Structure 1
Amino acid sequence: MTDVDRVLDGVGPRLKALRKDRGTTLSALSERTGISVSTLSRLESGQRKATLELLLNLAAAYQVPLDDLVGAPPVGDPRVRSEPRKIGDMLAIPLSRQPGQPQAFKLLVPPRPLPEKLATHEGYEWLYVLSGRLRLLLGDADVLMGPGEAAEFDTRTPHWFGSATEHPVELLVLFGKQGERAHLRAAARK
């Protein structure tokens, strides 16, 4: 058996485990990818070899790198090394490098004046205060948050946040597509 054969033989079990881990059905996955239930079932059982076209569709549906589906060995340094960038008056440091959603950032938010109008946009946001004091305006709510506190909200709700003191506030932020939330999942007990 060649290395390629071994890699291809491992694709089916990885696909099935990923689908089960995500709690989705073959039918739901078929609707999302346009791949027939029969083909998906045969891929998972190893009765059909995966093609690049099928794997690309599945990687996009699961929002995972293609390497995860084929079981590619880790390559080099796993640390995310990205350049900080300015977003308005905030400093954003990307913490994720995979395409898709959600995206993770560390934000340094300075003291800033209240805008005349609160922002709205598509998306869902989760934030966690690492240090400093955060003032979050969300709709009619005015919330002060300290280290260790988290908030999540639909960004279609008018919102604004900034430091509640004269010092910057440091946050971890997850920003996802409209309607998606970050979920923590624990393994089921047996």
Structure 2
Amino acid sequence: MNATEHDVLAGVGARLRALRQARSISLAALAAETGLTSSTLSRLENGKLRPTLEQLLPLARAHGVPLDDLVAAPPTGDPRIHLRPIRRAGFTVVPLTRRPGGVQAYKVIYPPAASSPAAVLQTHDGYEWFYVLNGRVRLDLGDQVYELGPGEAAEFDTRTPHRIASADAQPAELLTLFGAQGERAHLSPHG
């Protein structure tokens, strides 16, 4: 194995662990889903076992990611962004940025209010800015309730209790910028 192959395979275990933890599933549940043993999965995640294609294919399928993501394949030079929607708590998130850290961009689609699960106000570190592309959005922020329509935007400190949802019987579609470290989106005209 040359140095490049070693570098590619060295990070597979950490990526596998992160994907499993992001799905909040146990090694036993993943073993049942993939047909691999819990022991094999543990050794792969800890870097004690070199992954084979026969192991990586069912893992990629189970986690819903391309094989290239598991091995951190180098980019091909294709400038297009290949969007991979993620379903969370009844809404759909499409990551638009792939670099770690800093302000992250997402397209978020909230289901119609009637089909949206009852959500509680949440708090977490960070700062959020969103722009309503389509539909109407209800933003509960602290003790205040705001309704925003297409072309309107909001920004807030996510340490303030908040909830975002569709405000009516139609889905709501937003462009969201989020800074986990509290970075704010600074928009300025070019001069």
> Which TM-score tier does this pair reach, normalised by the shorter chain?
0.5 to 0.7
The alignment's C-alpha RMSD in Å is: 1.9
Residue matched to 1:170: 173
Residue matched to 1:158: 161
- How far apart are residue 80 of structure 1 and its match? 1.3
Q: Which secondary structure state, in structure 1, belongs to the residue aligned with residue 183 of structure 2?
A: coil
- How far apart are residue 149 of structure 1 and its match? 0.3
Larger CA Rg, structure 1 vs 2: 1
- Alpha-carbon distance change, 187 to 171 in structure 1, aligned in 2, over 3 angstroms: closer
Residue matched to 1:185: 188
Q: Which secondary structure state, in structure 1, belongs to the residue aligned with residue 125 of structure 2?
A: coil
Structure 2 counterpart of 1:133, from 129, 133, 136? 136
Asked if the contact 2:89–2:117 (Cα under 8 Å) also holds between the matched residues in 1, the reply is no
Residue matched to 1:33: none
Asked if the contact 1:154–1:178 (Cα under 8 Å) also holds between the matched residues in 2, the reply is no
* Whole-angstrom distance in 2 between the partners of 1:79 and 1:151: 29
Asked if the contact 2:127–2:179 (Cα under 8 Å) also holds between the matched residues in 1, the reply is yes
TM-score (norm 2): 0.55
Structure 2 counterpart of 1:146, from 137, 146, 149? 149
Residue matched to 1:101: 102
Q: Which secondary structure state, in structure 1, belongs to the residue aligned with residue 122 of structure 2?
A: coil
- How far apart are residue 186 of structure 1 and its match? 4.2
Asked if the contact 1:130–1:172 (Cα under 8 Å) also holds between the matched residues in 2, the reply is yes
Asked if the contact 2:140–2:163 (Cα under 8 Å) also holds between the matched residues in 1, the reply is yes
* Whole-angstrom distance in 1 between the partners of 2:172 and 2:152: 12
- How far apart are residue 187 of structure 1 and its match? 5.0
Residue matched to 2:6: none
- How far apart are residue 77 of structure 1 and its match? 2.3
Deviation string, structure 1 residues 103-123 (Cα, Å, up to 9, x no partner): 1110110122543x4100111
- Alpha-carbon distance change, 84 to 113 in structure 1, aligned in 2, over 3 angstroms: closer
- Alpha-carbon distance change, 170 to 187 in structure 1, aligned in 2, over 3 angstroms: closer
Matched ranges for 1:30-69 at <5 A: none
Deviation string, structure 1 residues 61-91 (Cα, Å, up to 9, x no partner): xxxxxxxxxxxxx962222113111121111
Q: Which secondary structure state, in structure 2, belongs to the residue aligned with residue 165 of structure 1?
A: coil
* Whole-angstrom distance in 1 between the partners of 2:91 and 2:117: 13
Residue matched to 1:92: 93
Residue matched to 2:30: none
**Percent of pairs identical after alignment?**
55
